[in-house]
Chains A and B, each alone.
Chain A
Amino acid sequence: SYELTQPLSVSVAPGQTARITCGGNNIGGKSVHWYQQKPGQAPVLVIYRGNNRPSGIPERFSGSTSANTATLTISRAQAGDEGVFYCHVWDITTWVFGGGTKLTVL
């Protein structure tokens, strides 16, 4: 079965750039989606199909994909960006989520 690998945690200073990676075999050939989940809340879609932002998501959020790694980049990080981020892909007949990365802005 297909697997997505994310770091457990990423820390970033306010105003700096955070990069959250998602590793998967040939992930560059898939559409990658990203969600942010804050404590006690449902996930929120922040990037779809690699590098598209839903309405209401700041331009500071962007996505990119290479052969075996997808990356969510958060520029000018703010305290409100904290949460757990999940990558998400469709593989044949199955949806797969990464394990999640906790972003801390400190």
Chain B
Amino acid sequence: DVQMVESGGGLVQTGGSLRLSCAVSGFTFSDYTMNWVRQAPGKGLEWVSSISTSSSYIYYTDSLKGRFTISRDNAKSSLLLQMNSLRAEDTAVYYCARSRVGIRDAFDIWGQGTMVTV
């Protein structure tokens, strides 16, 4: 079965840091572009960042202004999100999501999310 499990969320003070992880199983992680999407309480979905299979292409939403860093470890089938200088507006459920085929395709598999409270 395909599984994507996020971890690393929690309560952090303003200005602090957190590192989110997404552990993947059930498919060949290195073949897929991966993404982070967040959802503030009671709000809609907001794309955060995307990373291509070999990390050659990385994109971020403009509002992050360099505070977050996406990375991946293909050997460990793991997606990471380093979040620094956290603000109250970063409070959200953070989902990892897989792109179907390539960096511009739909997100076909989602994890259950991890809550970050700032």
Residue of A nearest to B46 (CB): A97
B27 within 8 A of partner (CB): no
Residues of A within 8 A of B44 (CB): 84, 86, 97-100
Contact across chains for A45 and B108 when beta carbons are under 8 A apart: yes
Contact across chains for A42 and B113 when beta carbons are under 8 A apart: yes
Contact across chains for A43 and B110 when beta carbons are under 8 A apart: yes
Residues of B within 8 A of A88 (CB): 45, 106-107
A96 within 8 A of partner (CB): yes
User: Tally of A-B residue pairs with Cβ under 8 A?
Assistant: 59
Q: What is the CA–CA distance of A79 and B105 in the complex, to the nearest angstrom? A: 29
B95 within 8 A of partner (CB): yes
Contact across chains for A86 and B107 when beta carbons are under 8 A apart: no
A49 within 8 A of partner (CB): yes
Contact-residue size bin, chain A (C-beta under 8 Å from the other chain): 20 to 34
Contact across chains for A95 and B50 when beta carbons are under 8 A apart: yes
Residues of chain B from 42 to 57 with CB closer than 8 A to chain A in the complex? 44-47, 50
Q: Which of A42, A96, A98 gathers most chain B CB within 10 Å?
A: A42
Task: Evaluate whether A97 and B112 lie within 8 angstroms (CB atoms) in the complex, with A33-B107, A42-B95, A88-B107 already known.
Answer: no
Contact across chains for B112 and A42 when beta carbons are under 8 A apart: yes
Q: What is the CA–CA distance of A42 and B45 in the complex, to the nearest angstrom? A: 10
Q: What is the CA–CA distance of A49 and B100 in the complex, to the nearest angstrom? A: 11
Residues of chain B from 97 to 118 with CB closer than 8 A to chain A in the complex? 100, 103-108, 110-113
Residues of B within 8 A of A (CB): 35, 37, 44-47, 50, 59, 61-62, 95, 100, 103-108, 110-113
